[in-house]
Structure 1
Amino acid sequence: MTLAAIPSPPQGVWYLGPIPIRAYALCIIAGIIVAVWLTRRRYAARGGNPEVVLDAAIVAVPAGIIGGRLYHVITDNQKYFCSGCNPVDALKITNGGLGIWGAVILGGLAVAILFRVKKLPLAPFADAVAPAIILAQAIGRLGNWFNQELYGAETNVPWALEIYYRVDDAGRLAPVTGVSTGEVMATVHPTFLYEILWNLLVFALLIWVDRRYRMGHGRVFALYVAGYTLGRFWIEQMRVDEATMVFGLRINTLVSAVVFAAAVIVFLLLKKGRETPSEVDPAHHDRLASGEPAGGDAVAETDAPRGATER
């Protein structure tokens, strides 16, 4: 018997006339906005032009969404390509389903191409964006709460999550687009909440370590990857939703283990220290040195004393 539990939202989709307003999409958008804002501050503090962050967002966001959806569809293909499935559902991104690794790989590739075209080093930007990415992931995970998805096994712990029956206007079961009947289907482990808390912990760790040790050359990003995969490895063990199995393990569990090992090795091999502002963006540094307006908050961030650049 559950004495206390976390309620799920009664619905995850609202309608403005014929237009659906989806909480999942709103959470992703909120995460992107926060990530861009934080990355601008952090990249400027390293000596980069914050306007470059907007350019990166323009190419990274669509590429990341496409990559995330591709990863999800490939690794959970049984949900879309079975005898009773509708393959068109693979395109319905607003129903949920984005794989972070596909998003990071394709989004990262798009940004790498952009920085190569701009002839700027990628590592300082990667270190600036790393904490912002995992903070955005934490915000985006709230979308799983609204969609009543990616939860763990049934439990009666005080922080258990209530999963409701949701139905559409015709009374048919509609877990994502329907409205709650108030009837509880089950109380389960809120694995989305565990991941949110873990992501926030990694975010705080990255900010602290970067300030304390002034890391650069891609080491903050490598630490982000290692930290995220470490948490994802154990959280994945708690999920009960259907998943592709490889060697008896959920595919995301296996990917997390492999990527964690690779990230630790890369972190140990990368050069210590941080790039100077002139190394991050020579042209932007020269403009600041000459007193030319740089736009955005570059001057204030770059000229701020150590320890006051990331509030």
Structure 2
Amino acid sequence: MSGLGGITPDLVAGLATLSIPSPSEGTWYLGPVPLRGYALSIILGIVVAVWLSERRWVARGGTAGDIQDLAIWGIPFGLVGGRLYHVATDSGRYFGEGNNPVTALYVWRGGLGVWGAIALGAVGVLIGARLKGIRLLPVLDAIAPTVLVAQAIGRWGNWFNQELFGKPTDLPWALEIDPAHRPSGYLDQATFHPTFLYECLWNLAAFAVVVWLDRRLRLGHGRVAALYVMAYTLGRGWIEMLRIDDVELADVGGLRFNVWTSIVLFVLAAAYFAWSSRRRPGREESVHLDGREVGDVRDDVTR
């Protein structure tokens, strides 16, 4: 019997057997040097974000090379902040009976909390911006959308580590997880929601929307950064609900800790966006603390 609209039983059966394989190895060796998929994903995301930020910054009136200088401060601060947030919110993995606290330093095994990375990374950018005579809010507006791209690429590190996946599913895009990486309650399940892929696609779409709104509305005074927070938390909230990895902090009202974090940050970012739009509409006339006009490049030692 022919299928309706070309959909045959064989096609349905074929789709049911489709899935996304996980890599059998997440680490390769170049002689004695280990190349880890997780680390490579993070590094590639950072490189792309710095490149995109540089282009956005110059278009906004900044000087070429500024973002690379700020990255010297922001990246180390962000990595430390991300690791501190992860260890603080999941300390049971590293401290207590049967655990080795030294493993808290093993970043290559995975474990970077995005909010810690953003918070402390912003502190690093603030320090670098002050030293270079740059206003903080314009540079955050230039950088913020590109962080979505960095996060989209960095999420593939979870794929290499076979971690942070979602609930079991038999959808055609389900992710295959090896038994050694499955939670104890799911050993008889083979395929799961690929939350790393969901977040990757969400972040790329959010990047396009935020950049489009920035160009169309000529946003300034931190409102692009606020849009970034709103866009990211909107996606992170529903994706987090799919995940089955253990969380040390107890659920409140049936929601995971990171879901509540997303809700609170979304509300705060939306409130700031509304307040800033009323108080300081438009975009900054200068991105420099000394008041130079946009595009007015000074050829001196402070450049």
Q: TM-score range by the shorter chain?
A: 0.7 to 0.9
Quickly say closer, same or farther: Cα 1:161–1:23, change in 2 above 3 A.
same
Q: Which residue of 1 aligns with 2:260?
A: 254
State yes or no: 1:64 paired with 2:78: yes
Q: How many residues align?
A: 279
Cα RMSD (Å) of the superposition? 2.6
- Residue pairs, 1:82-97, within 5 angstroms: 82-97=96-111
CA distance in 1, matches of 2:225, 2:241: 25
Q: Which residue of 2 aligns with 1:49?
A: 63
CA distance in 1, matches of 2:28, 2:189: 22
2:211 maps to which of 190, 207, 211: 207
Please, what TM-score do these two structures have when normalized by structure 1?
Answer: 0.83
* Larger relative strand fraction: 1
CA contact (8 A) 2:233 2:263 kept: yes
Q: How big is each residue's C-alpha offset from its partner over 1:84-113, in whole Å with a ceiling of 9 and x where there is no partner?
A: 322221110000010110000001011112
Q: Which residue of 1 aligns with 2:45?
A: 31
Quickly say closer, same or farther: Cα 1:238–1:291, change in 2 above 3 A.
closer
1:195 maps to which of 195, 199, 202: 199
Structure 2: 5+ residue stretches without partners: 1-12, 182-187
Q: Which gives a bigger RCO, structure 1 or 2 (Cα 8 Å, sep 6+)?
A: 1
1:122 maps to which of 136, 142, 147: 136
1:221 maps to which of 216, 222, 225: 225
2:250 maps to which of 231, 245, 255: 245
CA contact (8 A) 2:61 2:295 kept: no
CA distance in 2, matches of 1:46, 1:156: 47
Structure 1: 5+ residue stretches without partners: 166-172, 176-183, 297-311
Please, what TM-score do these two structures have when normalized by structure 2?
Answer: 0.85
CA contact (8 A) 1:75 1:251 kept: no
Structure 1, 119-128 or 282-291: larger mean CA deviation: 282-291
The SS at the match of 2:21 is coil
Structure 1, 265-274 or 56-65: larger mean CA deviation: 265-274
Q: Which residue of 1 aligns with 2:8?
A: none
CA distance in 2, matches of 1:120, 1:291: 13
CA distance in 2, matches of 1:24, 1:209: 32
Q: How big is each residue's C-alpha offset from its partner over 1:46-104, in whole Å with a ceiling of 9 and x where there is no partner?
A: 10112211111000001000000000111111222242322221110000010110000
CA contact (8 A) 1:151 1:241 kept: yes
